[in-house]
Amino acid sequence: MAIHIFILEYIYPLSTETAFIDSIVFNTIFALFGIPVWYVVAYTKPGKFSVINQVINHVTSLTIIMIIWIMAGNVILRGLISAEEASHYIDASKTWRIMSGLFFYSIMVLIYYVIIYYNDLQERVSREAKLNEIVKQAELDNLRSQINPHFLFNSLNSISSLTITSPEKAQEMIIKLSDFLRYSISQSKENISTLKMELDNIRRYLDIEQVRFGSKLIQQYDIADDCMAKEVPAMLLQPLYENAVKHAVYESTEPIIISTICKMQNNALMLTISNNYDPDALSRKGAGIGLKNIKERLNLIYGGTAFILIKKDETVFTAELVIPQKEI
């Protein structure tokens, strides 16, 4: 409106009062046309119509708006200023009206298209985030479904053997297995658990295997108090202990110590799970599903901020995990 007043005073020798009235009338009327222009833009947004149809729609809309705008503005203006001033410049200012109206319309359309593009972009980002979450959950469920049967098959085979040689131990294993599976099922829809809950379940698993292996399996834990309530992915650690039993306890004739150490460092859970093994024993070749699942789950949940490092020397196998925690 300020630019409008300046141009009228510069091009046409009008008083400031008349230029102000002219600016108020014509700019207010065109501002009201911003509402129908929005619907024109929304109706003809890219993707719904071809470029030619969009141009035709805008040219038609602009023509109708310009006719109504100039006619209504002139009628109102003639009633607010003197007849002498009105007759002096209203007819002569038609070119200025058309140019300013075209400019206003172009600016409105540009702003509206930017708003529509931004809203579409936000909606697309939201849809992609929801889709990624669905895909991520499906992948996690798939990985988890590979872990649970692996342990179940091993346990059932052990129970099958014990039903003949030691029915009492078989019954004990069945009770512990039911507790383990109850926890596993309760966590089937959860991505995150606490370290305490996970370790309690790991102890159930190792207790089951200890019924079978006796003193050959030794458990050691060194867990800092501030670690127990920290978050870890549910059932993430299970394959590491299964590997220790399968590739160390089962193959060795000497006692195998499965050690679990945990501490907090830089707001991250530092877990070290290690076991000794017999280097002369003929180790069973596994499919590597357990370790692969751990890496994929850490990547899905934490991106690149969590990882697992595997070390193997002549007599000790070690898995080191770094699991970041949420900032409090």
47: which residues sit within 8 A by CB, 6+ positions away? none
User: The dihedral of CA 239, 240, 244, 247: what is its sign?
Assistant: positive
Nearest to 86 by CA among 28, 20, 18, 23: 18
The residues pairing with 264 across neighbouring beta strands, listed in sequence order, are: 269
Residue ending a domain, choose from 125, 150, 185: 125
80 and 207 inside one domain: no
Instruction: Specify if 149 maps to a domain.
Output: no
With bands split at pLDDT 50, 70 and 90, how would you rate the model's confidence at 283? low
208: which residues sit within 8 A by CB, 6+ positions away? 155, 158, 173, 176, 177, 180
The residues pairing with 312 across neighbouring beta strands, listed in sequence order, are: 317
Tokens found for residue 64: 């109708």
CATH number of the domain to which 198 belongs: 3.30.565.10
Q: For residue 222, which amino acid is it?
A: D
Q: What is the pLDDT of residue 143?
A: 53
Has residue 222 got a pLDDT over 90?
Answer: yes
Q: What are phi and psi of 260, to 5 degrees?
A: -125, 120
Q: What is the pLDDT of residue 151?
A: 63
103: which residues sit within 8 A by CB, 6+ positions away? none
Instruction: Specify if 21 maps to a domain.
Output: yes
Mean pLDDT for the chain? 83
Instruction: Specify if 27 maps to a domain.
Output: yes
Has residue 287 got a pLDDT over 70?
Answer: no
Instruction: Specify if 204 maps to a domain.
Output: yes
Instruction: Specify if 287 maps to a domain.
Output: yes
191 and 46 inside one domain: no
106 and 203 inside one domain: no
Q: What is the pLDDT of residue 162?
A: 80
Instruction: Specify if 202 maps to a domain.
Output: yes
96 and 178 inside one domain: no
Instruction: Specify if 131 maps to a domain.
Output: no
With bands split at pLDDT 50, 70 and 90, how would you rate the model's confidence at 48? low
9 and 113 inside one domain: yes
118 and 37 inside one domain: yes
Instruction: Specify if 151 maps to a domain.
Output: no
Give the domain extent around 24: 2-125
The pTM for the full model equals 0.55
89 and 183 inside one domain: no
Has residue 273 got a pLDDT over 90?
Answer: yes
Q: What is the pLDDT of residue 203?
A: 92
Q: How many domains does the chain divide into?
A: 2
Residue ending a domain, choose from 92, 125, 158: 125
113 and 177 inside one domain: no
193 and 319 inside one domain: yes
285 and 210 inside one domain: yes
89 and 229 inside one domain: no
17 and 109 inside one domain: yes
